[in-house]
Amino acid sequence: MKVAPSVLTANFIHLDDELKSVENDADYIHVDIMDGHFVNNISFGPMIAGQIGSLTNLPMDIHLMVEYPLEWIDKVNFPTTEFITVHAECHRFAESLKRIKYLGKKAGLCIKPSTGVDYILPYLDKVDLVLVMGVEPGHGGQMFIQGQLKKIEELARIKQENGYTYEIEVDGGINASTAKQVKDAGATIVVAGTYIFNFENRKERIDSLR
């Protein structure tokens, strides 16, 4: 299991130290960008995302929680960006996936808890990552919605049956217990914010998620 600490819950006053505290043990840094429209919250924009990328040697896993991702994709195309993920519920997401690929980055597609796997079936051969939200996106600290395990299992089955190579990432309500559940269901990456950054021993927390 790969682990992507979500910088959204880090202490931004000491951001350099926070990033250094996880970079020897984590696989990615998960960066949530929110526009205040697609979700009822605002995080930070491309300028801060770029600074995050410059402060760590970990590749960035950028999650665009925005209504119009085509207006954002080029702005988060940093040298350390590995994944750019857009929502299946946003405007022109299919074109967005093509733009991400054109820029040479790995394309991710995210679904909210209310969106079924059937909705994204035509795109599963075109993506490098599928992000399943374990909570309603926009705020940290929520409890994992158990019904999302079926989606993970379905995505894992489709992946195996068709020889697809996408990562299955889960974000929201992740702790040691739910990480095991989603891993058993077929997830390959977990995103965790409060579970990691709200505790002093980050290595221990990351190790427990694996």
State the catalytic residue, choosing from 27, 35, 128, 171: 171
Bridge partners of residue 86, in order along the sequence? 109
CB 115 within 8 A of CB 145: no
Using the Cα atoms of residue 29, residue 32, residue 80 and residue 121 in order, give the sign of their dihedral. Answer: positive
| 118 catalytic per annotation | no
Q: What share of the chain is helix, strand, coil (3-state, %, to 5)?
A: 40, 20, 40
| Residues, the chain | 210
Contact status, residue 96 vs residue 86, Cβ threshold 8 Å: yes
Q: Which residue among 25, 32, 35, 61 is the active-site one?
A: 32
- What is the number of helices (H) and of strands (E) in the chain? 7, 8
Give residue 110's Cα distance to chain centre. Answer: 8
Q: For residue 177, report the phi and psi dihedrals to the nearest 5 degrees.
A: -70, -50
**CA pair distance 190, 3, nearest whole angstrom:** 5
Q: How far apart are CA 75 and CA 45, in angstroms?
A: 9
Active site residue 184: no
Structure tokens at 36: 């205040």
Catalytic residues: 32, 171
